[in-house]
Amino acid sequence: MRSRGAVFAPFFHFLPMKREFIYRAEVGSTNSELKAVVRASAAPVTAVLRAGAQSGGRGRQNKAFYSPAGGVYFSAAFPLSGDETNIAFLTLLSGLAVCRALESMSPAPYRIKWPNDIYVNGKKICGILTELVSVGTRLTAVVGVGVNTRLEQNEIPPALSSVMTSLKAEGLRAPDPDALVKTAVSLLDHYVYDLRALSGNTAAFAKELNARAYLTGKTVAVDTGSETVAGTVTGISPAGLLMLDTAQGSAEILSGTVTEIHI
């Protein structure tokens, strides 16, 4: 029995995990709530928390994420094995999973705006925030996704209406929230399973990421935190970096905030 366990244990470790789906009508932030659950738990957490609305939804760089009733807001916990070296790639995989889930329920050309947004018809429809929680030696990624589904055009704040949209505002069908969350999380679990089976070789996903890359061909300025890099986007690298043609030659950006420059 011992040797059977030794043979099969790693295999089970890689299987898409069992998930508990939790719904709350309103929370501050599903990411913050789930991170608190992870911190308080002695065992690995694989729960998915969805909220009908968030009073303190958060985006990258601690920006507020507008989260009224009528959107789909959820966070999923991923216990990490410790071998993962490219956590930023989880955000891109989440983008792929959400694009695929949306496409299967409400067909439209969904595009990934590197590193963490989904666009449709040139406007943001979804934002993704991946955060890490470490408890002792245990590391867990919490992936938070916010999709604007049922908001009417007149419910989108005027200050955001030039950059943000919703499925309804685009004349698209708003899917059942539970079905959307379950489909997206299941797809993401399978991507993570595949990535682990490929020993973390992200290159296998590059083709689909590039087929969905919103920024390719666009002139942009990327604020990396330490500098601003301007250039034309040539695609997403096999490791998930943003590739640019700049006046100084080619550049690859690991993380940053991208602004389109309209010339």
Which residues contact ligand BTN by CB under 6 A? 29-31, 54, 57-60, 63, 65, 67, 73-75, 116, 127-129, 144-146
- Whose CB is nearest to ligand BTN? 127
- Least spacing, CB of residue 170 vs ligand BTN, in Å: 18
Closer residue to ligand BTN (CB): 74 or 114: 74
Contact 242, 258 (CB under 8 A): yes
Closer residue to ligand BTN (CB): 184 or 234: 184
Closer residue to ligand BTN (CB): 36 or 204: 36
Contacts 24+ apart (CB under 8 A), 194-201: 195/89, 195/93, 196/14, 196/81, 197/14, 200/83, 200/84, 200/85, 200/86
Closer residue to ligand BTN (CB): 91 or 106: 91
Closest CA to 26 of 77, 71, 76, 78: 71
- Least spacing, CB of residue 149 vs ligand BTN, in Å: 12
Residue tagged 């366990």 (tokens): 5
CB neighbours of residue 36 within 10 Å = 11
Q: Tell me the CB-side half-sphere exposure of residue 249, using CA atoms within 13 A.
A: 0
- Least spacing, CB of residue 146 vs ligand BTN, in Å: 3
- Least spacing, CB of residue 106 vs ligand BTN, in Å: 18
